Amino acid sequence: MRDAVFFTKKTLCVKGELLDLSKPVVMGILNNTPDSFHDGGRYNDLKSLCDRAENMLAAGTTFLDVGGYSTRPHAEEISEKEELNRVIPVITALNKQFPAAFISIDTFRAGVAQAAVEAGACMINDVSGGQMDEKMFETVAQLKVPYVLMHSRGTPQTMMHLTQYENILEEMLDYFHYRIHLLRELGCNDLVIDLGFGFAKTIEQNYFLLKNMAYFKALNQPILAGVSRKSMIFKKLEITSEQALNGTTALNTLAVQNGASILRVHDVSEAREVIALIAAYNSL
């Protein structure tokens, strides 16, 4: 099977629209958290969050990914009530101010996903791949919204101790095959896979996965790449996340060349430039 030629799915049904992913699109990160690794505490009221969203939409983002639970390594655990208090007012305000926007909810909790979609979100982005809430897959099927299925192990508090693999490509492919099968059985048709850079992977494993991203085209699902300002950049270069924009651009370029259909980023304009320049290059 793995010697065959595969054609990755290039469409996604969002809010009743067929989104064309033959040219990659951008997902802008919008965190209402005090402790996210790059932008924690930077946007912590409705006005600053809505202003940030407006700027990202003007820069050309396709999705706004709203999160209220930091998933950086060793992040503090918060209650579902606290997560709801952080994300639902934001989604409600964004849906009112930008009714045409595609809002994604970044959560591993089925209850938060349910409430977010009821408030106006139209995609669920789950860093746990359904592992941290057994109700998640059924909730996705009931809500009939696209689902980002990410690979990870453990929790944000434990994942950095779970980086041992015999064959990381084979094990991750099996992980995705099994969960895609479960989701299909429930009637979920619009799926995106995320290799989970930084989640239960060493820096070297992250680069190995980036280099071999095309391996996962066998799953025939759009691929989301989330490398923006992560430690695989700033630790490798011995800089801070604040200084990691140039490195992010470099890795986003490699991600698009290797098959990514969605770039999840803090910096929308720069990601859009990557996509435009690669399109110009590939058109020759």
Dihedral Cα 169, 170, 175, 181, nearest 10 deg: 120
Does the annotation mark 135 as catalytic? Answer: no
Catalytically annotated residue among 86, 109, 201, 264: 264
Does the annotation mark 230 as catalytic? Answer: yes
The CA-atom distances, in angstroms, between 268 and each of 13, 25, 64, 172, 237 are 22, 10, 10, 29, 22
Catalytically annotated residue among 86, 153, 229, 230: 230
Catalytic residues: 230, 264
